[in-house]
Amino acid sequence: MRSSLECLPCLVRQAMEAASRAARDEAETEALLRKIMKRLSRMDFGEPPPVVARDIHRLIRSATGVDDPYGPEKARFNAMALELLPSFEKTIASSPDPFAAALRLAVAGNVIDLGAKGDLTEREAFDSVAHAMEEPLEGDLEGFRASALTAKKILYLADNAGEIVFDRPLLGALPPGRVTVAVRGGPVINDAVMADAGAAGIPGIVPVIDNGSDAPGTILRDCGASFRKTFRSADCIIAKGQGNYETLCDEDAPLWFLFKVKCVTVAGHCGMEIGAHAVISRQAAGK
């Protein structure tokens, strides 16, 4: 989908937060932000927001030499999610519909998004996840269930660190032997990379690959050839988070988007309210 003018203030806030983390001092942050404002003055609004976000975060990493500004936060969110997982697993096991409960947790986990809210604390995040487990899902739960349970090759595109821990019950509820999880190919904001999948214990459940790209979304032309092959051969692609929605909603592929709606631009595109817990098929995206 296209970027909107409303993306600009949000991208600037995200850049400011990432630059402050990576820079040695305020002077370096200021210099970075001047470069980023110039870059944004040439932004291509025909591209989805993760394209310019990728460039901004590359610029911050290369100028500061800090490869992973959100590394400590990612580790903290993974650890705290792992601590809380057993209690959520109990709730899911005792639920009348464990598949739907696991799906609710996977979508609720998408609240852990430091791109949308950089000052999110662990406490806020996990209170939200617990609360969100009670939230109704909007979209097509039954359509998703039917596609996922009958698929032969499922590709599961993970989104953020911490969140990826809460994908585990849903991964366990999908047909065994048919699922591959993909993470980002390099650090960007708090998006999960291979190390986060490892910390979350995903490789013990299903195979994990990386997509070869450092964008906070899935820009197929940026991704590695081997990832693209897996993407094209899957008959069910489960894409977590707004970044994956923004970059894949126009793609001709058997996609299902699972995310929490966090901004007016995506809300307007998918026709749901901010705060909605969305389960949307590619066919229904942007209709």
Mark 44-83 with x for binding to a second copy (rule: CB under 8 A) and - for no binding: -x--------------------------------------
Instruction: Name the minimum Å distance from CB 268 to a second copy.
Output: 13
Among candidates 166, 51, 189, which has minimal Cα distance to 116? 189
Instruction: Name the minimum Å distance from CB 60 to a second copy.
Output: 13
Instruction: Name the minimum Å distance from CB 32 to a second copy.
Output: 10
Closer of 52 and 108 to a second copy (Cβ): 52
Q: Could you say which residues in the range 230-249 bind a second copy, by CB under 8 A?
A: none
Mark 2-41 with x for binding to a second copy (rule: CB under 8 A) and - for no binding: ---xx-xxx-xx--x--xx-----x--xx--xxx-xx-xx
Using alpha carbons, list the distances in angstroms from residue 88 to 97, 147, 164, 231, 233: 14, 25, 14, 30, 33
Closer of 175 and 275 to a second copy (Cβ): 275
Closer of 35 and 178 to a second copy (Cβ): 35
Instruction: Name the minimum Å distance from CB 191 to a second copy.
Output: 21
Closer of 119 and 252 to a second copy (Cβ): 119
Q: Using CB under 8 A, count the residues that bind a second copy.
A: 23
Closer of 63 and 194 to a second copy (Cβ): 63
What tokens appear for 204 in the block? 């013990």
Instruction: Name the minimum Å distance from CB 115 to a second copy.
Output: 13
Instruction: Name the minimum Å distance from CB 29 to a second copy.
Output: 6
| 3-state class (DSSP) for residue 88 | helix
For residue 83, how many other CB atoms are within 10 A of its CB? 12
Instruction: Name the minimum Å distance from CB 118 to a second copy.
Output: 10
What is the distance between the alpha carbons of residues 147 and 235, in angstroms, rounded to a whole number?
9
What is the distance between the alpha carbons of residues 274 and 267, in angstroms, rounded to a whole number?
6
How close are the terminal C-alpha atoms of the chain, in Å? 12
Candidates 21, 28, 42, 80; binder of a second copy (CB under 8 A) is 42
Interior CA angle at 249 toward 100 and 159, to 5°? 55
What is the distance between the alpha carbons of residues 257 and 79, in angstroms, rounded to a whole number?
26
Closer of 1 and 279 to a second copy (Cβ): 1
| φ/ψ of residue 59, rounded to 5 | -60, -45
What tokens appear for 199 in the block? 């910390």
Using alpha carbons, list the distances in angstroms from residue 141 to 31, 238, 241: 47, 13, 16
Closer of 13 and 145 to a second copy (Cβ): 13
Specify whether the CB–CB gap between 174 and 98 falls below 8 A. Answer: no
What tokens appear for 27 in the block? 């002077």
Tell me which residues touch a second copy (CB under 8 A): 5-6, 8-10, 12-13, 16, 19-20, 26, 29-30, 33-35, 37-38, 40-43, 45
